[in-house]
Each structure stands twice: as C-alpha cells, then as structure tokens.
Amino acid sequence: MTHIIDPKEKQKLEDLIELLGSIRGRHTELVTVLIPAGANINLIQRQIEGEKSTASNIKSAATRKNVISALDMIIREMKNIKQTPENGLAFYCGNISDKEGVSDIQIWIYEPPRPLNVKIYRCDQEFIIEPLKEMIAIEEVYGLMVIDRQQATIGLLEGSQIKVLQKLTSGVPGKVRAGGQSSQRFHRITEGLAKEFFRRVAEELKNLFFDMPKLKGILIGGPIPTKEDFLDEGQLVTKLKEKIIAIKDLGYVDEHGLELLVESSDEEMQEQELIKEKKVLEKFFNTLGKERKKAAYREPEVRLALERGAVEILLISKKFNRDKQKEFEQMAENIGASVVLIGADHTDGEQFWNLTEGVGAILRFSLD
C-alpha cells in the first residue's frame, strides 16, 4: 500500500525543505545524515562516531570544531532513540551562522511520511534535501498489472519508482495436454481454471487499489487476447474498471513487463492530467459565464471567498506566486475545499492565467 501524505504533513515537509534549502554554510560544515527505513540506528551511530576521527583531519580549526560539534549533537540525539522509526530518520545539523568566526550550531530531526530509501552521510556547504523533495513530488500513483493465462504481476508506479505488490500464478496448463484427454474436455478444464484465475486477480486488484485515495489510474498489459479476456471474465468492480486509462499489448508479465507497461503508457498518463485540468477549467469558465456570482477570480475576490468558506474548488495556476499558493492552499484545506493546480503550458491554462492572474474559484454559494 502506498503512503499518502496528509495536507498538514505535506505543508510541514514543504516548509522544512524551503528552510533547509535556504541555508548555505560558509564552509563544508553542514552535516546531513539520512537513515533509511529498516536500518539499525545503533550501527549508524557508531559509524558517525567514526566520522569524528576523519573530521579531526580538517585543516581549518574553525571548520573542524564546527563539524565535530555537529557530529556530537547528532550522536547525542541518536542515543535517545532506541530504534529507527518505520520510515527512517533524517538529521540536518551544522553551523548556520553567516558571520565568519561565529558558531551557531542548529539541528533538525525529521521523521518522514514515506520510507527513506537512501543512506547518506555528507559534509557540505548545503544540506542534502533531494530525497525529501521526491517525497512531496509523489502526489498521485498508478496501479499496474500485466497478465497472461499463466501468471500476473501487480505493481504500483509512485513517482518514478515501480514497486511490485503481488505475483499470482494460475495453474492453467500450457498448450501441451496429457494423452488420452479429449480436446473438448481439456479446453473446458483450462477455460475454467483461467476464469477462476482472472477472478482471483480481480479480487487482488480490489484489495490493493479500491481504497487507495491517490490512485489516479490503472494501466493493464499483456498478450492478445488475454488482457481483454481478463476484463470480460474477471468481474472487476466498476469503480476500478473506470480507472483503467491504458491497455497495452505486451509479451512480458513479470517485473520487466511492468517497466514496459509504464514506458508505453507515458502519453496516456500525460493526457489524464490534462483532461482533469481541462474539465475543471471548463466548469470554471461555464460558471463564470452563466452564474457569475458562483465564481470568483483574482486574488482579492478569491481570498474573500476563502475567508467566508464559500469556495468549493480552488484553481491555482502553476505560475502563481509560491508563497501565496501555499497560503491559499492552507485556507482551502481549512474549509474543506478541493485544490486543482493548472498548468500554463496549454491554451486553456494560459487563458486562465491571463483572466485570473493566477487564481480562481468555483463557489458553494454566492458572496452577496
């Protein structure tokens, strides 16, 4: 199951990334320690203690002192933690003073909302925040499945990472049949086994994907006509059938098949994002034209609508000021309004930007 970041946690992580990204050390005295999920924190603590001897070779006395002080602070904090949290742990520590010769050692300890998959120790003039950035980039996920009559592999596309969630086998015999069996009887047996397999796969898809809030679409691949037979015979629930955005002809039904499925579905995934934007923009422009009082645009009017709790859907251009975007998203979250980000790289998105100066809303009720 994928790890979904709730809006408050996302905001907290974005603020931390912005803060850490703004810090620059005067020398290589900013220490990043990333502990991956499942790692032994006691072992890593000993490794960091070993780094102190390496740091003692730093030529500059001031830099040496600051790095060792940062390592000591990290070690003290690690000693208070009995085991690595479920998703790993991030330590950022170092001298953040912008004045030469002045020390201001600060530490940030962060337990991420998704598993850290990298182990990093680095002394540099900036903190290593890319793994945290990747976490907030993964806002939506795609379900993946490749299937033939013998096996199926189910996976998940999270950002650029493909994860295998489940492998199933059918027990359906190959084309060679036992001697003495009639062709019709053999066909009935294999067809019965295949249908039962398709239903098992459909049930597994339901277990994995039915209640996944960020599931954006499902991609299906396999040889002709097996994938089509699955959709006809597998009794896949309607909610998941409606999520299928691509069906691809593939010869592989293992992990490699999942990779090929993603590669061949790039256009459909891009179109899905664009379709979502175009639908909400169409609704916004229609509302603006037919029920002017049920729409708002430009910053003052939208802010007022948010303050009064009138916003149902908030539309924000990706060209809009970043700080204001965060503020408006928080206001929308406070009143239970949904937020849709609008790209400016297509005609409708450019039209939205030109009209609204970056922000608009569909309202629950008029402001009058």
13 & 109 share domain: yes
CATH code: domain of residue 236: 3.30.420.60
In tens, the pLDDT along 122-146 reads 999 999 999 998 888 666 789 999 9
**pLDDT band (50, 70, 90) for residue 1:** very low
CATH number, domain with residue 342: 3.30.1330.30
Given 264, 290, 318, the domain boundary residue is 264
Taking the model in full, what pTM does it have? 0.50
What are 137-191's pLDDT values in tens digits? 666 789 999 999 999 999 998 866 789 999 999 988 765 555 555 778 877 888 8
pLDDT recorded at residue 2: 45
Which residue from 341, 339, 303 is spatially nearest to 319, judged by alpha carbons?
A: 341
**Judgement on whether residues 11 and 133 belong to the same structural domain of the protein:** yes
Question: Above 90 in pLDDT, residue 307?
Answer: yes
> Are residues 30 and 129 located together in one domain of the fold?
yes
Domain membership of residue 295 as a residue range: 272-363
Residues 157 and 253 grouped into a single domain: yes
Claim to verify: residue 58 and residue 158 sit in the same structural domain: no
Q: Do residues 126 and 180 both lie within one domain? A: no
* Amino acid in the structure at residue 159: G
pLDDT digits (tens, 9 = 90+) for 225-269: 999 999 998 889 999 999 999 999 999 999 999 999 999 998 888
Provide mean pLDDT across the span 329-349. 89
**Where does a domain end: 112, 137, 162?**
137
**Residue at 1 is within a domain:** no
Q: Is residue 368 part of a domain?
A: no
Q: By the 8 A CB rule, do 191 and 226 touch?
A: no
Residue type (1 letter), 96: I
For residue 123, the cross-strand partners are 31
Domain count within the chain:
3
Q: Please state the separation of Cα 224 from the chain's center in Å.
A: 32
CATH no. for residue 50? 3.30.960.10
Q: What is the pLDDT of residue 217?
A: 94
pLDDT on residue 81: 95
Domain check: are 239 and 186 in the same one?
yes
Q: Are residues 295 and 233 in the same domain?
A: no
CA distance linking residue 239 with residue 321, whole number of Å: 37
Using DSSP's 3-state secondary structure scheme, residue 124 falls into strand
Question: Which pLDDT score, from 0 to 100, does residue 179 have?
Answer: 52
Average pLDDT, the chain: 91
| Cα-Cα end-to-end distance for the chain | 45
- The answer, yes or no, to whether residue 208 has pLDDT greater than 90, is yes
Q: What percent of the chain has pLDDT over 90?
A: 72
